[in-house]
Amino acid sequence: MTEKKKLRVVHYLNQFFGQIGGEEMAGAKPLVKPGPVGPGLALQQALGDAGEVVATVACGDNYVGDNLDQARLEILELIKQQNPDALVAGPAFNAGRYGMACGMIGQAVTEELSLPVVTGMYKENPGVEIYRKNLYIIGTEDSARGMKEAISAMVALLQKLVRGAQIGAPEQEGYLPRGIRVNVFAEENGAQRAVQMLIAKLNDKHYTTELPMPDFDRVTPNAPVTAMSKAKVALVTSGGIVPKGNPDRIESSSASKYGKYSLADFNDLTPDTHETAHGGYDPVYANQDPDRVLPLDVMQELVKEGIVGSLHPYHYATVGNGTSVANAAKYGAAIATDLRSSGVDAVILTST
Amino acid sequence: MCTIVPISLTVGANRIVPAVAIPHPLGNPELPSTEEKALRKALVEKALKALQTEVNGQTVFN
């Protein structure tokens, strides 16, 4: 009879759960303790005979936060030395710095050691938003009250990952949605399901949407421009207006990038100089006269007339069609940084 | 400046100027070109006015 090999599990904890100390030890460098520590005891119990918590790697949350690259390297090395089969990180509950550390270490172990990783966090932990796409994060309570349930769900999922079993939907397995779409066969077609949902909604009954809307930001409006005749204004568009030939090959749908293009030589956009890269709407009108989407011709007139101080000599363009909110926000932030460093006072953003 | 105002409201834009149509938000191919350009200029001037207006929350400039 051959004995089934026990899974070698390394457990990552912060200074508090790793029993180094409290907040005063948040700057502690990473260290290894043999076997399970603190929540590791529950982890060992849940693993039973299937696995062994061979070591605990613990580190202060501030040390990780203040020395990201260095801490990543050091912790990864300590984990690697244990020759593990899998990593469990946390759970971090609603502790933000701890969640970020679990996410970063988890991602590093996934990418560089190609090992299965499970962590656990409360849904509003900032680590969730950053690492949910790369990691299995079990949804937990907001405090250590929920330790037992969290560890139990983390171990169940870890064992599936180790076996290479198919991972079910987030609500079945208890992890936070990763934004992955999977094709499934449904008993009833979409129209039937939609009508049933509508009827349930009209009757104030419970229903589950098949396409939850993302949470959108709300931002405080900026103060108005006080002297437009002195202001530098920029043009930005999600309508896909790019130089003829689309030099950056911005995709017609689900754009993976934005482009920055010089306007210095143009007073008017024409079919010879510009076109739209945007799919999903009839491009004929935008291609005939790209000013219909990016109003350069009238902006240049308004500058000449002294109504607008100056025009930022570049425009920025991406394609809104099917582009994810997360990517759009990323492009927006990068464009805003560039505009700020160029001293732009105001932006006209056009969308199709 | 956008055609589908409810989308701009959903994504959180604060100063919104409704535009003409999805494939030509700042133009109208049915108009003679001088009139079309005048329409575009009027819309951009409305956007400039919106930028110079104090707002406390999401505002649509009709």
Residues A14 and A153 in one domain: yes
User: Is A188 domain-assigned?
Assistant: no
How many angstroms separate the CA atoms of A160 and A168, rounded? 10
Mean pLDDT score, A76-84: 97
pLDDT of amino acid A4: 63
User: Which two tokens mark A235?
Assistant: 């043009």
pLDDT of amino acid A3: 54
A350–B26: do the CB atoms touch at under 8 Å?
A: yes
Total of domains in chain A? 2
User: Is A185 domain-assigned?
Assistant: no
Residues A113 and A246 in one domain: no
Instruction: From chain A, pick out residues whose CB is under 8 angstroms from the CB of B27.
Output: 285, 289, 291-292
B3 or B54, which is more confident?
B54
A274 to chain B nearest CA, in Å? 15
CB-facing half-sphere around the CA of A282: CA atoms within 13 A:
7
As a whole number of Å, the end-to-end CA separation of chain A is: 69
CATH classification of the domain holding A60: 3.40.50.2300
pLDDT of amino acid A1: 45
Work out the number of other CB atoms within 10 angstroms of the CB of residue A270: 14
Instruction: From chain A, pick out residues whose CB is under 8 angstroms from the CB of B34.
Output: none
Residues A104 and A240 in one domain: no
Residues A163 and A41 in one domain: yes
Residues A169 and A232 in one domain: no
pLDDT of amino acid A81: 97
Work out the number of other CB atoms within 10 angstroms of the CB of residue A196: 13
User: Is A344 domain-assigned?
Assistant: yes
Which structural domain range is residue A340 located in?
228-350
pLDDT of amino acid A180: 86
Query: What confidence tens digit (pLDDT) does each residue in A4-13 have?
Result: 689 999 999 9
pLDDT of amino acid A294: 98
Residues A147 and A267 in one domain: no
Mean pLDDT score, A254-268: 95
Residues A12 and A137 in one domain: yes
CB-facing half-sphere around the CA of A157: CA atoms within 13 A:
28
Average pLDDT, rounded, for chain A:
94
- Tell me the residue type at B52: Q
A292–B44: do the CB atoms touch at under 8 Å?
A: no
Residues A253 and A144 in one domain: no
Residues A166 and A19 in one domain: yes
Among B16, B28, B48, B49, pick the best mutation site for testing chain A contact (most A Cβ within 10 A).
B48
Mean pLDDT score, A47-72: 95
Closest CA to A342 of A314, A319, A308, A307: A314
Mean pLDDT score, B35-57: 97
Where among A133, A154, A173 does a domain terminate?
A173
Residues A345 and A253 in one domain: yes
A176: pLDDT strictly greater than 80: yes
A49 or A181, which is more confident?
A49
Mean pLDDT score, A72-83: 97
Mean pLDDT score, A203-214: 86
Residues A162 and A296 in one domain: no
Helix and strand numbers (H, E) in chain B are 2, 2
User: Is A205 domain-assigned?
Assistant: no
Q: b/e map of A15-40 (b: 16 or more CB within 10 Å)?
A: bbbbebeeeebbbbebbebeebbbbb
Beta bridge partners of A86: A9
Mean pLDDT score, A189-208: 95
A298–B37: do the CB atoms touch at under 8 Å?
A: yes
Nearest chain B residue (CA) to A291: B26
Average pLDDT, rounded, for chain B:
95
Query: What confidence tens digit (pLDDT) does each residue in A95-110 have?
Result: 989 999 999 999 999 9
Residues A141 and A263 in one domain: no
Is residue A80 a contact partner of residue A32, using CB atoms and an 8 Å limit?
Answer: no
User: Is A45 domain-assigned?
Assistant: yes
* Secondary structure class of A239 (helix, strand, coil): strand
User: Is A29 domain-assigned?
Assistant: yes
CB-facing half-sphere around the CA of A90: CA atoms within 13 A:
41
User: Is A287 domain-assigned?
Assistant: yes
User: Is A183 domain-assigned?
Assistant: no
- Tell me the residue type at B40: R
Query: What confidence tens digit (pLDDT) does each residue in A290-348 have?
Result: 999 999 999 999 999 999 999 999 999 999 988 877 789 999 999 999 999 999 999 99
